[in-house]
Amino acid sequence: MIRDIEISQDWKQKLDSFYSRISGSVVRHIFLLPKSFARWMDLFYWPLIDLLLWGYTTVYLNSQSHSGINFVVLFIGALISWDILFRAQQSVTITFLEDVWARNTLNLFVSPLTPTEFLISSITYGMLRHFVTISFMGLMAFWLYNYNYFSLGFYLIPAILNLLLFGWSLGIVTTALILRFGQAGEMLAWGLAFLIQPFIGVFYPVETLPKAFQVVSKFLPPTYVFTELREIVLNKHFIPGLVLKAFALNAVYLLLAGIFFNWLWRIVKNMGYLTRLGNE
């Protein structure tokens, strides 16, 4: 009987220790949550983006259920075009992050390379990668879905150029924020482009969105690009005014992104934040 009591007490102590370690680990993560931007994004940001994007895509599909539109062609083309924008942003940001991860940023910026030259070289390298990626996606789309993305011909040129310009603007802004805030800003490398995705009508017309969201859409250049591409695919109609609006907005955003980058670059340099990148 005494032996049974000793065994039960021993198991109770083990269970108490087991629960204590687990609860301690859980509480540790809870305490980290308020100071972690990445954890907040997992909690609210990505679920909200998914809900907005696929929710309004479903609304659009329901409204066009008897239209006879070939949604495979519409969506595959939209997906490839979106990837052009996203990869343009990534070409600038990830190129910089690779130096951060390799702890090479200090060496990079004490060299004769200026911030402007760094951005231009990142964009140039990104364009080379873009050529490979777009060609690969185009070939796979043709092989898997019998869809020729390049069948739009000349009309693709201004569309792709506008998407690249806006992607570069996002990449410059993201890189500037990583320079200033270090690891706390790294999540923006993947999240910033997706923030605007529900508003630009990648898979559905912006008219599907609520009125307040449509106001936001008017200030985003990709809105006019995807509207133009959708008009060409569905109605074989090219609207030059949409392309010009996109170019005008992109010129403004690219200028503002460059000013923003140079401003934060001076702050980072004067405050000595470069030394902490990759060492946090």
Residue keyed to tokens 């343009």: 88
CA distance 229 to 105: 40
* pLDDT the model gives residue 219: 94
Examine the pLDDT at 2 and tell me if it is beyond 70.
no
Q: Are 89 and 167 in contact (CB under 8 A)?
A: yes
Q: Which two tokens stand for residue 238?
A: 């090219």
Average of per-residue pLDDT across 219-227: 92
* pLDDT the model gives residue 112: 72
For the chain, the domains span 1-34, 36-276
* pLDDT the model gives residue 101: 75
Cα dihedral 167, 170, 171, 175, rounded to 10, equals 180
pLDDT one-digit tens code per residue, 39-88: 666 666 556 666 666 666 666 666 666 666 667 777 788 888 888 888 88
Q: How confident is the model at residue 136 (pLDDT cuts 50, 70, 90)?
A: confident
Q: Which two tokens stand for residue 148?
A: 């020729």
pLDDT one-digit tens code per residue, 158-173: 898 999 999 999 999 9
* pLDDT the model gives residue 126: 76
- Rounded to the nearest 5 percent, the helix, strand and coil shares of the chain are 85, 0, 15
pLDDT one-digit tens code per residue, 254-271: 999 989 988 888 887 777
pTM for the model stands at 0.80
CA distance 226 to 81: 8
Examine the pLDDT at 118 and tell me if it is beyond 80.
no
